Structure 1
């Protein structure tokens, strides 16, 4: 291999190599520092460079989501965006169901919760949440009353206790002494004040990404339908998106350093592995195996069957995004790197990535769907509670980071493949519009050219 080949290879894959090396060094450094038994303050100081990376990426997430969604939706007509949206929803639903099925199969085969909870080292506290309130919170967050507040707060229903008097206590019915003596115990029970949980509007400190996604998609569609009248706004968001991507390119140079300290810090902070043994150890193994099966077998097979392309070539271009997801443990924070990998390394159409990735980072929940389904059955096994087939089918939830990033990225590739005819048609119409615009300009150019020729002829005649 010549020096030029080596230089070209490092230029194309340098970031990936630095990131992978950073992960390896971070793991080694973390395990080496564990024997020093650092306290909480020392661990936080040590992890500070990694915290800077997280803050840097999170700083870029909101403007990136808004600008990319607005430009992506504005570049599509309503018919094309509707078809792509339907394909995206079908893909997300399919992969989530497959993730849940994988998790259920793994937990039923391995049975990590066998033996009962008396062998567990610790038990967690379960917070009761009403499904109706959770669904209403989801809908409320789709329509935030304040877009600025949506950048740092989500609506969440809290619960308070209200004391309720029985109807008998409120009416104070007069009863004879003989009757009271006969039913004294019953009356005491009826007159006791009861308590009930009541929903109270509240909020949590978290980005309301769903609300911002809904607004950005709607705003982008309106700008796209405005045609020439919306050109100024479309150019503004295009410019904003390009500027954010330039900032992402700068941030990528720091990513390996930040990931190194993030991973090392998490390993140092980890509890003693002998404590997390027994059933919890088997549970951890079951989760890891389930996620690997979904990420390396199920999703690649789905990509291959639909596109007839090698999925691992596609995944090879995503290495830096996947490693960043592994280090940051946040699919939203990884979003800027995912954009760069898909658009620059793999070469996906920007109209697809800007539409699919922000939505996927918000609602596509493959990894956690698998994780939560597996966790629910594991808890049932620990408590020796047998679930029937119908109860197993009702279990589902959200995402694990690396699997989510991989699922979003493969989904973008699948949706681009399925939408290729609409994209070609839009490109042809755009080219036709440019040609017609040039034709409208041509008569003026010919008139100017004729005038110049006449002037030159007149000057020659005079001479």
Structure 2
């Protein structure tokens, strides 16, 4: 008999938790402690995981990748990720998927939420005074900033392979940290089921209403983001929009159905070269790097989740908190690793860092597979459009596939204009 996938087990755990919470009510709410233990186990690993993953990703690059081409790639990654995070935050504020829903834990949790600092303090707090204090406190932003700088220095110092042992040690620690997360994720069906029992037992069916609204808003936000990217790249790289959409059709289908950027990568690299005209050199640098460091869909997801959670718990979104949300959504993508439940791990990073109620993670965990469909599509499209833009800048973009895929009248117009 075929074993159920982790995603299927998590969904069963969520459904079972909802049913138990509805049937037995507050008298069974104490089972939530199992979910709290699960969340703590996830949270205890994420700082180490991010710290090592960012250092390894940057320090392991070829030196030429940290030069002009690397800076250009990083700039495009940053632009598209910020656009995605801003769209997620704005759509959350416009459609307000968490508004008008009262949960039983609102009053207790709202009192514990940290007062966000002003904008100047927010920016200053990106930079650590003491990395050990940042690691101890779980300050993810400061840890990532230090890891980026350390990774750059290690990359430059290791040109003659003097520090290969340091890089090897970091890689081995990352492998062990990843295995630890994967081990803990085996407990996810029970942990998430217990969290759902606690939430539903205290709040009833009202706790389920934000989920459907969230998926609808997230789906619409993803479509909007893709439209912005396609129009931007069509204009920037001077390629026909019809040919661009045709070239992306298989990439998006594979991403949607597999919900995995890693699984989509071979098709993404093949179609980027054959159907979208990106050279092998750009292809081999940008797309694997994008899978490790660039997660547009995740940034949008995290920003939208934070907007919804502030509405669920009646927390006012100040300018400082909005900057924190967008910044953390962007920076959290740098620590993304290919492990089961990556969206859940990201939530375990950003929700506590912002001082938001951790109970909200349970609400989103049960629909992580559906959210992952939209996340993966946005991720792979963001990576591939970046590759097209850079190939265009470097005169390494073959536009012939676009013309062949475009309507006949476009091809005639293009031929007559030459």
Pairwise TM-score range, normalised by the shorter structure: 0.5 to 0.7
Matching residue of 1:454: none
Query: Which sections of structure 2, spanning at least 5 residues, go unmatched?
Result: 101-105, 231-247, 269-286, 330-346, 348-360, 392-418
Matching residue of 2:10: 19
Matching residue of 2:146: 215
Normalising to structure 2: TM-score of the pair?
0.57
Name the SS of the counterpart of 1:47 in structure 2: helix
Matching residue of 1:142: 126
Match of 1:355 among 293, 296, 319: 293
Match status 1:413 vs 2:380: yes
Partners of 2:41 and 2:184 within 8 A in 1:
yes
In the aligned structure 2, how far is the partner of 1:128 from the partner of 1:236? Answer: 37
More strand by share: 1
Cα distance change on mapping 1:362 and 1:72 into 2, 3 Å: farther
Match status 1:32 vs 2:23: yes
Give per-residue Cα distances to partners, 1:100-129, cap 9 Å, x unaligned. 44345436xx9x78xxxxxxx999889996
In the aligned structure 2, how far is the partner of 1:359 from the partner of 1:296? Answer: 11
Match status 1:84 vs 2:103: no
Cα distance change on mapping 1:303 and 1:239 into 2, 3 Å: farther
Name the SS of the counterpart of 2:5 in structure 1: helix
Give per-residue Cα distances to partners, 1:338-392, cap 9 Å, x unaligned. xxx544687796643442369967996233346659999x999xxxxxxxxxx99
Partners of 2:29 and 2:198 within 8 A in 1:
yes
Alpha-carbon distance, 1:257 to partner: 1.6
Calculate the aligned-residue CA RMSD, in Å.
Answer: 4.7
Matching residue of 2:255: 314
Query: Which sections of structure 1, spanning at least 5 residues, go unmatched?
Result: 1-5, 114-120, 154-206, 319-340, 381-390, 425-463
Name the SS of the counterpart of 1:229 in structure 2: coil
Cα distance change on mapping 1:229 and 1:303 into 2, 3 Å: farther
In the aligned structure 2, how far is the partner of 1:362 from the partner of 1:146? Answer: 30
Matching residue of 1:229: 162
Partners of 1:69 and 1:358 within 8 A in 2:
no
Residues 213-362 of structure 1 mapped to structure 2, 5 A cutoff: 213-226=144-157, 227=159, 228-270=161-203, 291-300=214-223, 302-303=225-226, 306=230, 307-309=248-250, 311=252, 313-318=254-259, 342-343=261-262, 351-356=289-294
Cα distance change on mapping 1:312 and 1:53 into 2, 3 Å: farther
Matching residue of 1:56: 41
Residues 447-458 of structure 1 mapped to structure 2, 5 A cutoff: none
Cα distance change on mapping 1:105 and 1:144 into 2, 3 Å: closer
In the aligned structure 2, how far is the partner of 1:379 from the partner of 1:208? Answer: 22
Alpha-carbon distance, 1:60 to partner: 1.5
Aligned length: 300
Alpha-carbon distance, 1:27 to partner: 1.0
In the aligned structure 1, how far is the partner of 2:389 from the partner of 2:256? Answer: 25
In the aligned structure 2, how far is the partner of 1:97 from the partner of 1:312? Answer: 25
Alpha-carbon distance, 1:65 to partner: 0.3
In the aligned structure 1, how far is the partner of 2:176 from the partner of 2:390? Answer: 25
Alpha-carbon distance, 1:225 to partner: 2.0
Partners of 1:342 and 1:409 within 8 A in 2:
yes
Residues 389-400 of structure 1 mapped to structure 2, 5 A cutoff: 398=325
Point out the more displaced range, 358-367 or 261-270.
Answer: 358-367
Partners of 1:365 and 1:397 within 8 A in 2:
no
In the aligned structure 1, how far is the partner of 2:313 from the partner of 2:201? Answer: 25
